[in-house]
Structure formats: C-alpha cells, structure tokens
Amino acid sequence: MLPGLKSAKIHNVKAIPIRESPLSTSKFGHQSWIAKDPASQEILKIADKVKDTASTLLIQGESGTGKDLLASLIHFTGTRQEGPFLKIDCSSIPIELMESELMGYEKGAFSGAFTRKLGKLEFAGEGTIVLDDILSLHLGTQAKLLRVIEERVFERLGGNEALPVKARIIALSNDHLEEAVRQRSFREDLYFRLSVIPIRLLPLRQRVLDIKPLADHFLHLAKIKYAKPTLEMERQAFELLRHYTFPGNVRELRNILEKAVMLADSDKLTPDHLPGFLGKRMWQHPGMSLHQKKPTLQELERSYIGEILEYTRGKKGKAATILGISRKTLLEKRKRYELMD
C-alpha cells in the first residue's frame, strides 16, 4: 500500500516515495518529492486534493521545477495508480504523426497502415496520459484535443466508431502558455479546458528552504552511485549553493552535485569541486543591497548558458546535459541569446 499525501504531510513532508515508474521521473535521479518550503508544501496540499479526480490538470513551471515528477506523484498515489501512466512529448513528435499517436488508426487509414494501431488515449484505459510541452501542439491538433476533453470521445483515424476516453489527462507547460493564448498560437478555449485545475510550480530560487534537503538528497544518491559513502559536503560549499539562483532549477542542482561527487578526490566536498560560476555569483543573492542593479532572469540565463558552452568548449550535447535541457532547447536558447561559437 503506497503512503498517501496526507500521511506524508503528517510527518512534516520530508519526502514522499512513489512507485517505480518507467517514465520521466527517472531523469530527476530520484523518486521523491522534497517539500520543506511552505510553497512546496502548498503544492502537496493541492496534489492531495486532485490525485483521485478525473478532471484535466494543468501543471506549469519553468524547466527543471519538477512538473513530470509531480504528475507521476499524483498518478501513483491516487486511485488510478493501477492503470497505465503514459507520457507524450508533444515537442518531439512530428505534426503529421501526433493525431495517430493520440487516436490510433484503422487498417488502411493511410498508405502504410497495414494493421490497426491503438492510440495513447485508448491504450491508457483508466490510467493517466501526460501531455508534456503542450504548447508545442499544432493548432489543428489542439482543436481535436479540445473535442476529446469536452466530449470524452474520439475516433481512430479511418474509423467511425466513437470510443470513450476514460483516462485522466495531465498537461505540462512552461510559464509561457498564457502569452501564447494572447498571441493566438494556442487556443483560448483549450487553455480554459486544460486549466480547470491549474498547478503552478515556483522556481527553486523562490523556495529556498527546499535547497538544503534537496542538496542532501541528491548528495546521498550520488554517493551511492559513485561508491563514496564517507563523502561529506563542507559548509562553504553549501553556502555557494544556497546563494545561487539556479536558472536550471532542481534539475540543475542535481547535475551540479552529481558532477561534484564524481570529481571529489577526498572525503570532503569543497567549493573547489563546484562550478566556478557559483562563486562568481554570490552577489546575485536577493539579500544584496537594494542600491545595486539586479540582473534580469534572461541576463542570468544568457550568462550561465554562455559559461557552460565555454566550459564544454562548444560541445552542445555535453552542455545540454549539464544544463539539464534537451539539445533542441539549448539550440533555441543559443539562437535567442545570440550565443555564437
């Protein structure tokens, strides 16, 4: 029997274990939701209320804040936990294939359709479908998804039978969805349908009380992975982490600590094992003088990505791994910020 969110809350919400999932939770390197900051604990209260509902959920937040993990937590601690938990990365599937990925198709529906194929909506049964990066959906597919949510039915491509939608849909997006609605690149009616129960995850820099328990958690996992059970972090090293703004959020913290543990050559993890840019950015802490000019988040991100590209000598795959983002996302940000080789 899995512990529910309420039982975990009684124990001061240190971490909530969830069932092993083959999906995206593994890329965070852990299967727990760490919640010491009041903002994170508030998210758990909401998750506790919606984990058993059939309503569509919308989880928004910056890259690396834990949207995938929260979706997994909601599924595997709720009444749908015995059903499939399927994820579709909307940004990685070509426009012409997305509809068949969702709806499936009948034999002969198009050239090359030699057999019937079940789509994710049908295969999910009474489980959960996670639509990651919902903002990437083509407007035509958005219209069909709207009908699926409103009428709770769909047809396979090339078929006429109306099939019921039994699965719960959880959509994930960054913080630009509302702007996309204003720019008419995302349907307003679909946005309102998705956001019946909206959940917004704050960036790590706005829930600083989570940094220490998260750091301890990732340090513990890395010590196991690299067989360094006696390794301990010096206070000065943690202070660098505590004062850092983490543009890559939780994913970046995990990557920083894993690399530091891997490089550590003694029983002490010191500031020398952490990336040099952490020491350079002590002045970025929100507690600095109000008379000092504070950089924008975009300026911080541009500087950070530039430093990582410099560190990797322009190797974009390695840089994307350190940043905790896809190579495609890195190329887009590099173009946006005019970061040339």
- DSSP codes of every residue in 104-172: EE-TTSSTT--S-EE-HHHHTTTSEEEEETGGGS-HHHHHHHHHHHHHSEE--BT----EE--SEEEEE
133 plus 250 within the same structural domain:
no
pLDDT of residue 3 exceeding 60, the answer is no
Check: CB of residue 132 under 8 Å from CB of residue 329: no
Nearest Cα residue to 248 out of 256, 240, 260: 256
Residue 42 lies in a domain: yes
**Overall average pLDDT of the 164-177 stretch:** 92
107 in a structural domain = yes
- Domain shared by 196 and 215, yes or no: no
Contacts of 211 (CB under 8 A, 6+ apart): 204, 241, 242, 246, 253
Average pLDDT, whole number, for the chain?
82
In the prediction, which pLDDT does 156 show? 92
Q: State yes or no: pLDDT of 16 exceeds 50.
A: no
92-112 pLDDT, tens digit each: 898 888 999 999 999 988 888
Specify if 236 maps to a domain. Answer: yes
Question: Same domain, yes or no, for 156 and 233?
Answer: no
Q: Is the pLDDT of residue 30 over 90?
A: no
From 133, 168, 202, the end of a domain falls on 202
Pair (150, 24) in one structural domain: yes
Mean pLDDT of 51-69: 93
Confidence of residue 295 (pLDDT cuts 50, 70, 90): low
Q: Tell whether 181 and 277 lie within a shared domain.
A: no
- Of residues 1 and 41, which shows the higher confidence score? 41
Q: Which residues pair with 172 in a beta bridge?
A: 59
Q: Tell me the C-alpha distance between 183 and 186, whole Å.
A: 8
Whether 236 and 113 share a structural domain:
no
Strand partners, 164: 153
Of 181, 202, 223, the domain-final residue: 202
pLDDT for the residue 282: 43
Shared domain check, 174 and 38: yes
Do 191 and 273 share a domain, yes or no? no
pLDDT band at 220 (very low <50, low <70, confident <90, very high): very high
Confidence band, pLDDT 50/70/90 cuts, at residue 258: very high
Judged by DSSP in three states, 17 sits in strand
CA 165/CA 119 separation, integer angstroms: 11
Predicted confidence band of residue 341 (pLDDT cuts 50, 70, 90): low
Give the CATH number, domain containing residue 52: 3.40.50.300
Residue 257 lies in a domain: yes
Lookup result for tokens 């560190």: 311
The answer on 123 and 107 residing in a single domain is yes
Q: What is the CATH number of the domain that holds 261?
A: 1.10.8.60
27-46 average pLDDT score: 74
193 has pLDDT over 90: yes
User: Per DSSP, what are the bridge partners of residue 58?
Assistant: 171, 198
Query: Are 190 and 111 members of one domain?
Result: yes
Domain presence at residue 12: yes
224 vs 17 pLDDT, higher one: 224
Asked if residue 341 is part of any domain, the answer here is no
Task: Give the CB-side neighbour count of residue 219, counting CA atoms within 13 A.
Answer: 22
Residue 211 sits at the vertex; the CA angle it makes with 197 and 88, to the nearest 5 degrees, is: 40
153 lies in the same domain as 44: yes
Of 202, 237, 257, which residue sits at a domain end?
A: 202
The confidence score (pLDDT) of residue 5 equals: 36
Beta strands in 174-307 (DSSP E): 197-200, 232-233, 268-269
19 or 51: which leads in pLDDT: 51
Residue 200 neighbours by CB distance under 10 Å: 14
Exposure string over 168-186, b if 16+ CB within 10 A, otherwise e: bbbbbbeeebeebbeeeeb
What distance in Å separates the CA atoms of residue 74 and residue 159, rounded to the nearest whole number?
A: 33
Structural domains counted in the chain: 2
CA distances from 13 to 114, 207, 229 (A): 51, 15, 25
Together in a domain, 109 and 230: no
- Tokens representing residue 185 in the block: 């690149």
The boundaries of the domain holding residue 262 are 205-336
